[in-house]
Structure 1
Amino acid sequence: MADLLEGEYVESSAQWVRDQVALYERTGGKEGWHLLDREDWPIVVITSKGAKSGKLRKNPVMRVEHEGKYLAVASKGGAPENPVWYANFLANPVVQLQDGPEPRLYKAREISGREYDEWWERAVAVYEPYAEYKPRAEAAGRTIPMFVLEPLD
């Protein structure tokens, strides 16, 4: 297995994120693997290195997987701005993704065009609210960025 990301971990300022990440990691993904109480909304935990601080950040994101690759949707609920981890992925594209008990390293690559459209369909199939987030973001002048995560090992 590839070396996991190293550095100081800084917990999220959001209590629900801290709680979900801790539960997921403590149980190897047996608990905390879904958003809220919806078992049809699975998540994975992604660790990225801060663009400015260089410190590790962990975020639960929807589990959108296809042929061994994963998708990270920087939706932020359709907010006018990108989530903080978006800048982290651009500055430090090697991330750690945990889907179950074993984390692995992936390289994040921002996508566009036809590839974006194909992955968008997969994302909405997993998490329907993305369809509501898109017009909100667009009304604020933002296209929701997405990254494909490809395994390094």
Structure 2
Amino acid sequence: MSQLVTARIRSTAAKLGLPHLAESLNQYVERAEEGKLGYLDFLDLVLAEELAVRDDRRFRQGLRLSKLPHHKTLDDYDFSFQPELDPRKVKDLATLSFIEAKANAALLGPPGVGKTHLAVALAVAACRAGFSIYFTTLDDMVRQLKTAEAAGR
């Protein structure tokens, strides 16, 4: 590919807000040549990669803004630690159907049983699915609500 065309593609990609394409153009071309990709397959590859990079960036930004105390997942949870907890119910929650139904999920139990871990894992799954998340404790939420009420908000 000529340097003029490469420079023009990089410039256009940057103007369109496709920074990964601008940075990785040579690797895409090499992959297309190695795989003898057709035009549509090449375009599909480039767009899929750009979307994956964008989704990953959105996910990392969402986690950063979420104020989660840690970023544990359900894979990190030891269900044998809480034998009375049904893993199927937790995995059902992880489908996030309760969010689509505009419902809440409440995790109740004594201290040290993994409620925060499970809440964080569900939040991470929700963030991965494209939802905005924000972590707070009940104590902090009540304090913020009292402050807002006192300020007339």
Which structure has the larger Rg?
2
TM-score, normalisation: structure 2? 0.27
Query: Which is bigger in relative contact order (C-alpha 8 A, separation at least 6)?
Result: 1
TM-score, normalisation: structure 1? 0.27
User: Which structure's residues are more often helix, by fraction?
Assistant: 2
